[in-house]
Amino acid sequence: MKIKELFFLIFFLFSLESLVAQTPQRFYDKSKCGYKLNDQIIVPATYDAGSDFINGAAIVINGNKRGFINEKGIVIINFEYEDAGPFMNGLAKVKKNGRYGYIDVTGKVVVPFKFEFADDFVGTLARVKENGKYGYINNHGQIIISFQYMEANNFSEQLASVKTQGKWGFIDFAGKTVIPFEYDNAYTFKLLICFRHAVFYCFVIP
């Protein structure tokens, strides 16, 4: 490894450690969850469970309901959801009365509660399910790729593996077939980065 690359790696690791040190971290006391920052308790251990902070907010569970707190421990979205995901692309998936929708950081409903299933946004699209079929929407709730797939995965490296008529293939952000539907199973494209080198790989089982 060259000196420049070693310096870059060390700088990256120190920067990451510094970033983590400035973010409250979960701790548990008597099976309850709270948050500390540099050993100082920011949020007492009163919640049944909690997530890491992502994009400035953490999901916390009170009873069987989920809400959100900010890094100061202030409840920013009340405990009214049966399920919730982190804020990605400005929106978080939430479940209410058995249906999924999306809210913004103020708690405003941006995408109505109408989906059987919803996933976090990956880039500009989110995977959702309606009437037993999967499709993809944007952060305005507009259907970008219609509900036509038996199964589907999130986008990764600009491609998503989806299943129709018993076979898996890959589509792009426009829903165009990039890899034909001829596989019994398919997983997700990954990007491996090692300084100057990038390697794409995909698992497909014929």
In terms of C-beta density within 10 A (0-12 exposed, 13-18 middle, 19 or more buried), how is residue 113 classed? middle
Share above pLDDT 90 across residues of the chain, in percent, rounded to a whole number: 76
Closest CA to 165 of 149, 146, 152, 188: 149
Share above pLDDT 70 across residues of the chain, in percent, rounded to a whole number: 82
Q: In the prediction, which pLDDT does 3 show?
A: 53
Please state, rounded to an integer, the average pLDDT across all residues of the chain: 86
Q: How far apart are CA 140 and CA 134, in angstroms?
A: 17
Q: In the prediction, which pLDDT does 191 show?
A: 53
User: How many Cα atoms are found within 13 Å in the side-chain-facing hemisphere of 74?
Assistant: 4
pTM: 0.81
The 3-state DSSP class for residue 4 equals helix
For 153, 199, 201, 206, the CA distances from 192, given in Å and listed in that order, are 19, 5, 8, 24
What DSSP line would sit under 130-157, residue for residue?
ETTEEEEE-TTS-EEEEEEESEE---BT
pLDDT tens digits, one per residue of 22-36: 899 999 999 999 999
Q: Which of 1-15, 62-76, 140-154 has the lowest mean pLDDT?
A: 1-15
For 45, 57, 127, 132, the CA distances from 162, given in Å and listed in that order, are 41, 31, 11, 14
Contact call for residues 114 and 130 (beta carbons, < 8 A)? yes
Q: How far apart are CA 69 and CA 40, in angstroms?
A: 17
pLDDT tens digits, one per residue of 66-122: 999 999 999 999 999 999 999 999 999 999 999 999 999 999 999 999 999 999 999
Alpha helices in the chain (DSSP H): 3-21
